[in-house]
Amino acid sequence: MKRLILALLLLLALGGAAWLAKPGYRGLKSWRAQRLIAQAERLMKEEKWEAVFAKIQSAYQLNPNDPKTIRTVAGLYSGFGQEQAFPFWDQLLAMDKATPDDRRAIARLALRFKRLDLAEKQVLWLAQHQPEAIDNQLIGADFLLLSGDYPGAVRLARRAIRSEPSNAEAGLYLARLLLASPNPDEARLGKRNILNLAQATNSIGSEALRIAVQLPDLSASEERDLSSLVERPDLSSAEKLVLRLALDWKAAPEQRDKLVSDAVRAAGRQTAAEQLALGRWLNQRQLFNATLQLPPPASAAQQQRNLLLVRLDALAGLGKWQEIQETLKADDLLEPLLRELYLARSATVLNEPERAALQWRRIEQLSVDLQPPALLYLAIYCERIGAVAQAVKAYREVRQSPFLAREGYAGLIRIAEASGQTRELRQILSEMTSRFPQEIAPQNDLAYLSLLLGENIPQAKNTAERLVQQNPSVLAYRATLALALLKSEQPAAAEALLRDLPVDWRAVRPGWQAVHSAVRAANGETNLARTLVRQIPLERLKPEERALIQGLL
Query: Rounded to an integer, what distance in angstroms lies between the CA atom of residue 377 and that of residue 398?
Result: 10
187: phi then psi, degrees, rounded to nearest 5:
-60, -40
Going by pLDDT thresholds of 50, 70 and 90, the confidence category of residue 8 is: very low
Question: Does pLDDT of 10 surpass 50?
Answer: no
In the chain, the percentage of residues whose pLDDT exceeds 90 is 42
Residue 530 pLDDT? 94
pLDDT band, residue 85 (cuts 50/70/90): confident
Q: Which pLDDT belongs to residue 302?
A: 60
Tell me the average pLDDT across 74-88: 80
**Average pLDDT over all residues of the chain:** 85
Q: Which CATH number is 457-553 given?
A: 1.25.40.10
pLDDT tens by residue, 463-505: 999 999 988 878 889 999 999 999 999 999 999 999 888 777 8
Dihedral sign, Cα of residue 281, residue 283, residue 284, residue 290: positive
Residue 127 has pLDDT above 60, yes or no: yes
pLDDT value, residue 490: 94
User: How much is the average pLDDT of 41-46?
Assistant: 74
DSSP letters for 503-534: --GGGS-HHHHHHHHHHHHHTT-HHHHHHHHT
SS (H, E, C) 429-494: HHHHHHHCCCCHHHHHHHHHHHHHHCCCHHHHHHHHHHHHHHCCCCHHHHHHHHHHHHHCCCHHHH
- Cβ neighbors of 440 (< 8 A, separation 6 or more) are 115, 116, 117, 467, 470, 471
In this prediction, residues 301-326 reach a mean pLDDT of 86
314-331 burial, b at 16+ Cβ within 10 Å, e below that, comes to bbbbeebbebbbebbeee
Domain boundary assignment for the chain? 457-553
Q: Binning pLDDT at 50, 70 and 90, where does residue 509 land?
A: confident
% the chain with pLDDT above 70: 92
pLDDT digits (tens, 9 = 90+) for 234-287: 888 999 999 999 999 988 889 999 999 999 999 888 888 888 899 999 999 999
